[in-house]
Structure 1
Amino acid sequence: MTTPEGTSRTGIIVAALATVGACDIAFGLTLQLIPLLMNERGWPAWAIGLNSAMGPIGILMAGPFLPRIIARVGTKRIVLIIIGVLVVSLAAISSLPVWMWFPLRFFFGLSTGALFVVSEAWILSAATAENRGRVMGVYTSLLSVTFATGPLILPWTGIDGFLPWGIGIACVLLATLPLAFVKVSDAQFQQHGGGGSFFGFVRRAPMLLYAIGAATLFDNVLIAFFTIYGISNGLDLAVASRLLGIGIIGNVLFSYPLGWLADHWSRKAVIYLSAAITVVLSLSLLIVIGHWSVWPIMMVLAPMAFATYVVGLATMGDTFKGPDLMAGTAAVATMWGVGGLIGPPVAGAAIDLVGIDAMPVTLAAFFVLLLAGLGLTGGRLVRDIRNG
């Protein structure tokens, strides 16, 4: 990355990781805190689900417009604005009536998505072709840790009062500290000559987006239904929850080695192999859910599913530059919105139709579709069209 202001590539990567990690703690905290509070105050399950959907809706609606807005405002300035919006949103949710939480959740989700767009563009631009897989592996591991940290705060603070919200606000404010030590050139992200089109990126990289989308679909379905699946197969709540936590530990342990493989072996081979292993391990849950072997399987399953995310991002950084890269990270953010809105309803409908065993089959199906798409494209994630 060209940094005329003097900040090193490593400095930009570290600052971006620290910024997004601090905000991700608050994001993980709110995902558990808000439903618990709404349930305590007597809101029905459909309203809780609708409120949870407001964040993905915000990301989906904003995605096509973010590249142009970021190019005009500047990346560092937009991140500071985002942090301000996140702080105001958290403070407002802590004190306003629940019906106001719906629009606030929309803006919170939109802002969080925009933060990921900028952070990922910074990281991918600063990484090199030789280390991009490993850098994105570190990024994925960090997000697993910080996202899981948020809910761990609640047993210490409880859900009532301002304290959990205050901790979330403090985490977001801490995200401003690393920004003070980096200078990022926005010249490379300026739109010119037709570059930086959101929909242009979608047309050029549909398989790349689905590779990332498979991971987001997997993540949302696993979080929504795995505990229910475990309980339905005779596990108690504590064991089912710990198994879900083992998947997070697996992401932390194996994302970097998978990124290393993508750098030193083959990006294409890693995505094929990880998708195939995800299919096999997902279907194995039908057999091993009550056996001790489910523990190592869950530890491997989650990072294999997320390897498509790691490799997809690395491939995007290899192929797209400047405004096209910013359009790509915006498209990736929308895939998280797609995963949140489509994954759980699809899995829920399948479970209603054929029973709870549809859950692991649905997880496998996402990656069977990915393997089929890769077979049709010869393993290419990006179409052979001239980059803008």
Structure 2
Amino acid sequence: MQAQSGAVPPLSQFQRNAGLFAAIASITAVGIALSLGIPLLSFDMNDQGISGGGIGLSTAVGAVASIVATPLAAPLARICGAARALAGAILLLAIGFPLFYLFKSELAWLVLRFAFYGALTTVFILSEFWINALAPERHRGLIMGIYASVLSAGFAIGPMILAAVGIEGFLPFAAGSGLMLLALVPVLLAVKASPVLDGQSKAGMLRFVFLVPTATFAALAFGAVESSLFALFPVFGLRAGLDVTLTSGLLSAIAIGNLLMQIPIGLISDRVDRRLMLAVIGLASAVLIALVPMAVGWGLVLLYGIVVVFGGLSGGLYTVGLTHLGARHSGGDLALANAAFIFMYGVGMLGGPALSGFALDAFDPYGMPLTLAVILAIYGVFAFLRLRHADKAAVPGSRT
């Protein structure tokens, strides 16, 4: 994101709270779009006989769009205003989603996925920029936890829609589009609380990837895991012997874990070393997702329990990573750092589904969850090594 940011017009406490509410509410549209759209399209592609690798590669097109859109969000917001640009991106999501039903060719879907994910990325960047600009430092972890919980609520709505209305016909597309439109209302009402983007930063966005790598690589790991789950967990569930309702229920369980655990995780992150917390989250999440293939045969209670806790813990990578990032940067650097965070999330989205899809085909059906376990374990070890290196360096305030 090539912009200076953080300039907030003089606001009353009510306006500040309204701005935070608007930014957080807008992210609900993202949760609905991801959790309804990706599994719905995956079910459709699976019914057409497309391989797991093909589904993963199709989803990876969205990651390319995310990477392309990342540096474009700030100029758009500077021209239109952050709130108006955010509203436009949400509107594009709501209009674009039903088009997947109307156009069934693979080429049309690739074009629609590219546009859809470009809009999703813009919503992520602008809403997180808005939240970071308005959030008081002493409550940053709590506010990021609230943000992540609302995002998770959006994630929970999508699979519930699939379970209620099924995957056939236009109805699930129309329902998702209508819910996205609801997120426009608070954004349009809080235009005056929108932060202003002024000037241009001389630093490049990619430089910020390596200034706080424990945070940005958390986004990379989470992007790979989350996109793989939404793209391929439905296929894994079906191939493991679960029906559509139970598979959609597993996606809801992940979202419920996120919804329940992000505020406590955010509060804890305000009180402990966030680097250590990220390392523990990575390793614990790796163990839990590795248990899922075995838990399919242990009964639904244990399976759902493991998935709920996994969903909450793995979601902490994003919450704590973003909080850690926000505590290390401010002003224009914060805008660039946030863009770098989303960029790495997009890189994870690019590689995760493709790798997990090929693993799903090669070690049917358990290759997908085991691949995610490896990704999370590698990140957890990396975070521990970064923490150990920083402790040895013993440089006060060093960025890791």
TM-score category, normalised to shorter length: 0.7 to 0.9
Would you say 1:329 and 2:338 are equivalent positions?
yes
Quick one: structure 1 residues 123 and 225, their matched pair in 2 at CA, closer, same or farther if it must change by over 3 Å? Answer: same
CA contact 1:259–1:311 (8 Å) conserved in 2? yes
Alignment match, 1:374: 383
Number of residues of Structure 1 aligned to a counterpart in Structure 2: 382
Candidates 165, 188, 192, aligned match of 1:180: 188
Please point out which of 279, 292, 299 is paired with 2:308. 299
The equivalent residue for 2:3 is none
Q: How do residues 2-151 of structure 1 correspond to structure 2 at under 5 angstroms?
A: 2-6=8-12, 8-36=15-43, 44-45=50-51, 51-90=58-97, 92-96=99-103, 98=105, 99-151=107-159
The one-letter amino acid of 1:248's match is A
**1:219 partner SS:** helix
Q: Distance in 2 between matches of 1:97 and 1:280?
A: 39
Structure 2 CA distance, aligned partners of 1:280 and 1:158? Answer: 32
| Mapped pair 1:168 → 2:176 | yes
Q: Which amino acid aligns with 1:374?
A: A
In 1, are the aligned partners of 2:281 and 2:380 still within 8 Å (CA)?
no
1:242 aligned residue: 249
| Structure 1 runs not aligned, ≥5 long | none
> Does the CA-based 8 Å contact 1:137-1:310 persist in structure 2?
yes
* Partner AA of 2:96 in structure 1: S
When normalised by structure 1's length, the TM-score is 0.83
Cα pair 2:215 2:341 within 8 Å, conserved: no
Corresponding residue number in structure 1 for 2:373: 364
Secondary structure in structure 2 of the residue aligned to 1:378: helix
Are the equivalent residues in 2 in contact too, given 1:134–1:260 (CA < 8 A)? yes
- Which residue of 2 is the match for residue 257 of structure 1? 264
Change (3 A) 1:264 1:229: same
- Kept in 2, the 8 Å contact 1:5–1:185? The answer is no
| 2:143 counterpart letter in structure 1 | V
Aligned CA distance change for structure 1 residues 97 and 284 (closer, same or farther; 3 Å): closer
Q: How much has 1:314 moved relative to structure 2?
A: 0.5
**1:47 deviation in Å?**
6.5
**Deviation of the 1:185 alpha carbon:** 4.8
- Counterparts in 2 of 1:272 and 1:67: CA distance versus 1, 3 Å: same
Q: Which moved more, 1:89-98 or 1:215-224?
A: 89-98
Shift of 1:49: 5.1
Amino acid at match of 2:208: F
| Structure 2 unaligned residues grouped into runs of 5+ | 1-5
- Write the deviation string for residues 206-257 of structure 1: whole angstroms up to 9, x where unpaired: 3321112212222233344545556666666654553443222211111111
Please state whether the residue corresponding to 2:31 is helix, strand or coil. helix
Residue type of the partner of 2:288? L
Tell me: CA distance 1:114–1:301, structure 2 relative to 1, closer, same or farther (3 Å): same
- Measured after TM superposition, the shift of residue 50 of structure 1 is 5.0
Counterpart Cα distance in 2 of 1:65 and 1:337: 14
TM-score computed with the length of structure 2 as normaliser: 0.81
Residue type of the partner of 1:319?
R
Q: Which moved more, 1:241-250 or 1:152-161?
A: 152-161
Letter in 1 for 2:131: I
- State the superposition RMSD in angstroms: 3.4
Take 1:269 and 1:148, find their aligned partners in 2: how far apart are those partners? Answer: 29
Alignment partners' CA distance in 2, 1:237 and 1:169:
22
Q: Sequence identity, in percent? A: 30
Q: Please say which of residues 320-329 and 218-227 is displaced more in the overlay.
A: 218-227
Q: CA, structure 1 residues 91+235, in 2 after alignment: closer, same or farther (shift >3 Å)?
A: closer
Q: After alignment, is 342-351 or 88-97 more displaced?
A: 88-97
Distance 1:204-1:11 versus aligned 2 partners, 3 A rule: same
State the alpha-carbon separation in 1 of the partners of residues 116 and 163 from structure 2: 23
Note the alpha carbon deviations across 1:3-33, whole angstroms, 9 max, x for none.
4154543222111111221353244333244
Shift of 1:102: 2.6
